[in-house]
Amino acid sequence: MTAKRTFAAVLGLLIAIWWILWGLEQNASYESQRSMWSQDLAFFNQILFHASQGDAWTSPILLEPTGFFSMVHFHPILALILPVYMILPSASTLLWINAGAVALTAWPLARLGAKASGSEIFGLAAGVAWLVWMPSRAAAIADFRPMVFLIPALAWIVWGVYSQRRAAWIGGVVLCCAAREESAYLLPSIGILLAVGLPLGGKRRREGLWILGGGLFWLSFLLVFKDNFFFHFNPINLLQGDGGPSPSGELTSARMGFWGQALASGYAGAILSPATLLFGAGPMHWLMTDSQREWHAFFGTVVYLKDPMLPLIASAGTLGAAWVIRKKEALLPAVCIVLILGNSLAFRGERSRLNQRKTDNHAQKRTPEGVALQALIDHVSPEAKVVTDYRLIAVLSGRDVLWNRAHLYLEDNSRPPHWKNDWPITFEIADTVLLPLEDSLVGELSDSWTQTQRAGGYGLWTRKAQESRVDPAPPTH
């Protein structure tokens, strides 16, 4: 076996191991009803479930526009995920895909390290360093979001541009655009920096111009054809002097703490190769970090806000370490050890909390409450039209009708401007309700509902004379 084949085999094995470890950890959260953010996992599962049934790409449970192109965020990658989902139709499939996208990022980072240092040993070390880095794990075990594909996409762009591998950076650009619409102003900012001479393995102006052109094409397409583009991160607001509230002291401190820990890890060499970090200095980076959207959480609902930064930090750290090796080849073993060990020890507090969560997830499944609640969930028919809460909405997703109780019985002033159906939404849209016994909405259940079971602090209610109901029309937008 040649050295290159050995490199590929070892790296592939390592990626597979971490993919399995992360996938198992993520699914343990899901199966114990402790998903990081069940609402959006249910949202995407519902979208793909309807599409796999030949229906519209729809899931109104976020009270947002529905349809493949009409959703608030545009994720073309969902069209490529659909064939896999049709073979394995489950929210668990999406969790495995999420973990895989992060694990596979080790490949372009390892190739980047090998190219930059001239050592495939260091390349393997760069791949391992990514896999043992705490932010990688946090992104891998977060509930599925298409934005996770920005992680491997940006790593492929850096590797492709540095190595002048056209197929690699073009593939990264396409994957960025398929992940989410923010790439429409992330890519131009990268292209401009390269085009004006930002060094990345030498002058890469030609690649920069192509990336700039590709990003501007995608931006123009979305501006012309997508009405609700820039829903969350709107640079136009900045020009109008309406950038939103300034970050609180807590948020600013949390962000500085994250960057401090990131650059104090095995990726400390990033300061020796800052060019890649500057890719994040464009409008996308600023808007992501200035957002008030719970950026202080290290894992959970908002991990995806950090996604574009992780491969840039990792690429810069890899290139900085490779620079040291080029200067003094005898330091290769020491640099490899520092890179891997530094990433293994970084973010110790967050690692401890996540390990405790992992232990709790496994314990939750075996508790009497957990066993009883799972039996209650299993009692719900796949054909049932369900209303449930944030905790259970993911495990009950993958059905024709699913609603979050948080969106029922809201006041008139809470009605989304695009919502065309009856308001407020009531229990009339369902025939099965699974909620905590103490939930305030239980009082809205009339005499036409019967509590059939209770377990684990939850009750299961079904509507009487279900066969006489007429289902409401699906939401139209």
Rounded CA gap, 377 and 185, in Å?
Answer: 43
- Alpha-carbon span 43 to 394, nearest angstrom: 8
Residue 394's nearest CA partner among 104, 123, 75, 44 is: 44
Tokens of 25: 């950890």
62 has pLDDT over 90: no
State residue 153's pLDDT score: 96
Tell me the C-alpha distance between 202 and 164, whole Å. Answer: 10
Which residue bears the tokens 């980076």?
285
Residue 429 scores a pLDDT above 60: yes
* pLDDT at residue 292, as a whole number: 56
Check residue 63 and give its pLDDT: 80
Provide the residue type at 429 as one letter: I
Q: Provide the whole-model pTM.
A: 0.89
The span from the CA of 182 to the CA of 453, in Å, is 46
* DSSP element (H, E) containing 388: strand 386-388
Which pLDDT tens digit goes with each residue over 280-326? 666 555 555 555 555 555 555 567 777 888 999 999 999 999 999 99
Q: Cβ distance 112 to 324 under 8 Å?
A: no
Rg (CA), the chain: 24
